[in-house]
Structure 1
Amino acid sequence: MTVTFDLTLDCTDAQLLAAFWKTALGYVDEPPPPPFRTRGEWLAQFDLPESAGDGAWLCHPQRAGPRLAILKVPEPKTVKNRLHIDIRVPRDGDPAAQWARAERLAGAGGAILVEAEGHHVVLGDPEGNEFCVAAASA
């Protein structure tokens, strides 16, 4: 049986990370599940102390990739991620496309951590979650 999966990022500022990851992935805000009109209405059914601002839910515009939930947690990030996202950039005839994308994401609040020349770039998002930018496989 094939299953689907979502990815969840813990954070201290869900809206900051949502803006960054929308830029990084081209994702959009995921609408709340029917029949709810807002995320606040959807969250209210669970009787949780969180507010709609404590989380963000993103998806690919055509629902082609995994959804990304970004949730506020009380504790800060303290160690390296055990799982990270790899952003695959189409080369489109330009071998430097991945470095251009990495520079753009650094300008959007990320930080370049490691450059593996000719292969990939390791970055941190605005809260230090590591991810890689690499060329898409042919």
Structure 2
Amino acid sequence: MAIRIQVTFDAAHPPTLGAFWAEALGYVEDAPPPPYTSWDEALDAMGVPLDQRDTAYAVVDPDGVGPRLWFQKVPEEKAGKNRVHLDVNVGAGVPRPERPDAVRARATELEALGARRLYEKDELGSFWVTMQDPEGNEFCLQ
């Protein structure tokens, strides 16, 4: 049995949050179902009204390795700390002494996209920056 994982985010504006995570992870917008060549074409055929086209959004790993990320619109705002979060390894292959600078540089790039840096940790041989995405979901860069 093949198992595929999808990570689902509740969001105020799925396309905006999905675009952030696509940029953060090197993902792309999920393709519309065949035979459609665009989401507008697919949603027109499905009869989805224009005012409801921001209710969901998905991004995928272009290499087909990582999980699909699904963003669904919810009416309530985020409340409290995430019980699950993503760890994004941006320092893989970087020599240990250079990792903090590489991680900090990527954190700065993500801040320009709307993320917020919360704090840094350097302990037990690991360095990471804990951040929030544009809607307040916590994640770590390591």
- TM-score range (shorter-chain normalised) is 0.7 to 0.9
**TM superposition score normalised by structure 2:** 0.81
Q: Report the equivalent of 1:63.
A: 64
Q: Report the equivalent of 1:16.
A: 16
Deviation digits for residues 54-104 of structure 1, max 9, x if unmatched? 221100111111000111111111111111111011243332311211121
Contact 2:99 2:127 in 1 (8 A): no
Q: Report the equivalent of 2:87.
A: 86
**Secondary structure of 2:129 counterpart:** strand
Q: Report the equivalent of 2:52.
A: 51
Larger displacement relative to structure 2 (29-38 or 107-116): 29-38
Q: Distance in 2 between matches of 1:44 and 1:76?
A: 31
Greater share of residues in helix? 2
Q: Report the equivalent of 2:135.
A: 127
RMSD (Å), alpha carbons = 2.4
Is 1:109 aligned with 2:111?
Answer: no
Q: Distance in 2 between matches of 1:80 and 1:39?
A: 33
Residue 15 of structure 1 and its aligned partner are, at CA, apart by 2.0
Can you give the 5+ residue segments of structure 2 that lack an aligned partner in the other structure?
none
Aligned letter for 2:59?
A: L
Q: Distance in 1 between matches of 2:76 and 2:119?
A: 26
Q: Distance in 1 between matches of 2:6 and 2:83?
A: 16
Aligned letter for 2:73?
A: K
Can you give the 5+ residue segments of structure 1 that lack an aligned partner in the other structure?
none
Which of the pair has more CA radius of gyration? Answer: 2
Contact 1:11 1:71 in 2 (8 A): yes
Q: Report the equivalent of 1:95.
A: 99
Q: Which runs of 4+ in 1 moved over 3 A?
A: 35-40, 42-48
Aligned letter for 1:99?
A: R
